[in-house]
Amino acid sequence: MPPPPGVRPPGGPAGQQTARVPQGPPPDQPTDVVSPVRGGSGRNRSAPEPELLTHREFEDGYDDYDDPDSRYSEPVLTDEEARLLRRKKIWRRVRRTSYVFVALMLIGPLVAFFIAYQMVEVPNPERLADRLDKTVQITYAGGTENFATVAPKGRRTLVKCDEIPDPVKRAVFAAEDATFETNEGFDITSIMRAVWNNLKGGGGGGSTITQQYVKKATGNEDPTLTRKALELVTAYKLSNTTDKTDILCGYLNTIYFGKGAWGIVEAAKAYYGVALNQITDIQAATLAGVIQQPGRAAGDPEWVEQRWNYVMNKLVENKWMEAAKRANSVFPQMVDNKDTNAGMTPDMQFIWAQAKKELEENGISEEQINRNGYKVELTIDKAAQDAAKQAAEDVMRGQPANLRKALVAVDPTNGKVIAYYGYNEAKNGIDFGKGWYNPGSAFKPFDLVAFLHKGKGLGETFDGTSGRKFGGITIHNSENDDCGEHCSVAKAMELSINTVFADIGYNQTGLKAVAAAAIEAGIPNNIGRQNMPLEQTPDLNIVIGGGKYVATPLNMASAYATFAANGTKRSPHFVAKVTNPNDGDAVVWSGDESLSQPQQAFSKSDAAENAKIARNVTESLIPVVNNTRGGALKCIEGRQCAGKTGTHGCADTAKTSKSDNCAAWMVGYTPQISTAVWVGSDDNSALKNKQGRIIFGSGLPGEIWKKFMDSYLKGKEKKTFTKFTAIGLSPDQAKTGESKTDDSKSQTSPSQTSSGTPSSSTPSSSDPTSPTKNTKTPPTLFPTGTDRDNPNPRDNDDFGR
């Protein structure tokens, strides 16, 4: 069959059969062609017309790149699929990066730990003990007049390691590091627990005894991660290269125990006046307990006893003491170290103790102060301090032996404590300036703040008669006196009418609002020895500062300073600044900068409203000073003063009667100073003056306050309070009969309170503002008192017996 047209027949020309020749083109074949892609078979092995390189075909005879159904073509993705694909690629990169990062985190610290381990040096206790502490200079405010100089005591007395009694060792382990004998220099469980506590806002460093020893030995106590990391490495190396007994020995020979005692030997002498080998296990708990904050040991015996209880409980917990022995143990009485701070009188020692406590709370320990020879400038004004001491001693001279007194003065413009006098000769070691006492009617201004928050003012009227009931509780005014059925708030404050303020707190504002107002002014939320939250289910006692509601003279002076400063609150403080004389007097810490920051107390967002509330309180307190006892408390030179007296009655016991008072206050201020004076007793006994009469706030406390204020203010600038703008009804409107109808006087059950408690005719245990459960025989508060030396008998504020 002839070939199709245009196709060359096989073989040579004219269809001849040609002989087979070797593969490859003949010598005269053009070089622009290549061998065929597919060869023939059998007799048809000759290649067809070769194709150009740019049009080479696939073996299946067609170009499937152009075929949309081909298995080699790229799939067409939807937008959602493309997004998911991109996301998948991103997360793949993130995972791979994370793996690298985690690997570096694991390997990096190991490498750093190994390098640091080779470089750190373990401390030498003998060399450390040879380093003497430097002289510390303490000055009054301004830094020019010397308050006291604390000189170094001399070298520590070193104890040999085998001479440390076992009771001392166990007490230290219980207090600081129960796993000391078995850990590797650090305790990962304690570290994690400390981290967790700090994240929750608590405290605790999680350091072992070995870590603490390293920190004290190096003198580096910076709160940095680098320092902590090096401390941990050094502690680990020390633990692996030094016997545990030697570490404990070096630690106890090095650390400060307070009361001027460096090392455990001196601590045994300072606290119990005995040699170390005579210390009992009960006494050892005291020495171990003060290691945490040694600066508080000299001036805070209550804290020392708290720490003793903690260590004793830990000894039982770790089976180092029998529970029966613990139950029968009492806190061992410490010896009195009168020369602990040579050159300081007892009242000066109380001030220095407060300053050290403040510095400790802000990261500067007494040990650091002594080791570095810091200079400490106090906020105490020498003239003010001298005036406080003179006033307190002059007024109380010749008074009954059971009476105690305290005076604290604060500068409202900056929060500085300018005078602090809590010394009482009969109780030399007790600072009454920091004691917790019922403030009585001196708490009433906080009731008024809550009332002003509701937009109601001094011209509002209430039933001021005595013997009114609130939730089943009968309330009396002193001597059952009253200011009528339409008594204005202003007049109730001046005359200290209990029923009006009970009505305000119980029926108008709610008791939680009163607590909140006190906190706004500067009363701490956690008050008293029980550290009780002020806002937690308050009872009716809060309106008059009775029952469980207590405050220190410093609290009251500071809170009233907020009123004096037109609603600007500042933290009271004792230390102006700490400087390092070895570094060009560089400032180490400044209380003036850290603690004097102003805050709007009564309105965070409205400065005008904040100032107006404070000024309305002041307006209500001016008549108290001017009218009490015929104006006996008026400030010198016609100055503007405001203040409030307060008393708290005694419980009816074999030694006291319901008419007796057990605490009396006078708290008052001018624009440049706020002063609180307390008179009471250390055994809560009845207060009688040398004439045998009951003591009220306007009595001995008022006399001390007046004498101090006149002495301090004499010759100083006469500053005045700002212009008064009434909130709600003014006092004048009440006097002219323009006051609103009093709809509260007939109420005997609480309306809805600010805390959301619904109305109830009978208070129940579920009502957070109810003072007590209703009983068949309602309790009586404010029973009749006998006021024989005060022309203003309404100041007998004996709520909360």
- Active site amino acids: 176, 441
Burial profile 406-437: b = 16 or more Cβ within 10 angstroms, e = fewer: bbbbbbbbbbbbbbbbbbbeeeeebbbbbbeb
Pick from 519, 621, 517, 613: nearest CA to 566: 613
E strands in 131-278: 136-139, 146-150
Rounded distance between C-alpha atoms, residue 713 and residue 719, angstroms:
10
Tokens linked to 54: 């740019």
Count of beta carbons in the 10 Å neighbourhood of residue 794: 25
Overall residue count recorded for the chain in this entry: 801
> Which residue in 787, 774, 716 sits closest to 748, CA to CA?
774
Q: For residue 270, which of 292, 253, 286, 254 has the smallest C-alpha distance?
A: 286
- Sequence letter at residue 5: P
Rounded distance between C-alpha atoms, residue 797 and residue 667, angstroms: 15
For residues 110 and 787, give the distance between their C-alpha atoms in angstroms, rounded to a whole number: 78
Among 259, 245, 341, 249, CA closest to 294: 259
Residue 385 · residue 141 · CB < 8 Å: no
Distance CA 385, CA 422 (A): 11
Contacts by residues 342-350 (CB-CB < 8 Å, ≥ 24 positions apart):
342/151, 343/148, 343/149, 344/148, 345/423, 346/423, 346/428, 346/429, 347/389, 347/420, 347/421, 347/422, 347/423, 348/147, 348/148, 349/298, 349/299, 350/299, 350/420, 350/422, 350/423, 350/431, 350/433
Closest CA to 798 of 659, 655, 645, 656: 659
CB 610 within 8 A of CB 725: no
Any idea what the Cα angle at residue 341 is, between residues 274 and 705, rounded to 5°?
125
Residue keyed to tokens 């002076």 = 557
Could you tell me which residues come within 8 angstroms of residue 27 by beta carbon, excluding any fewer than 6 positions away? Answer: none
Tokens encoding 531 = 């550290």
Q: What residues are paired with 378 via a beta bridge? A: 575
Strands (E), 120-162: 136-139, 146-150
Classify the phi-psi angles of 768: left when phi > 0, otherwise alpha if psi is within -120 to 50, otherwise beta. alpha
Sign of CA dihedral 117, 240, 321, 274: negative
Q: Which has the closest alpha carbon to 674: 408, 396, 358?
A: 408
Give the three-state DSSP class for 139. Answer: strand
Q: Which of 167, 214, 163 is nearest to 186 (CA)?
A: 214
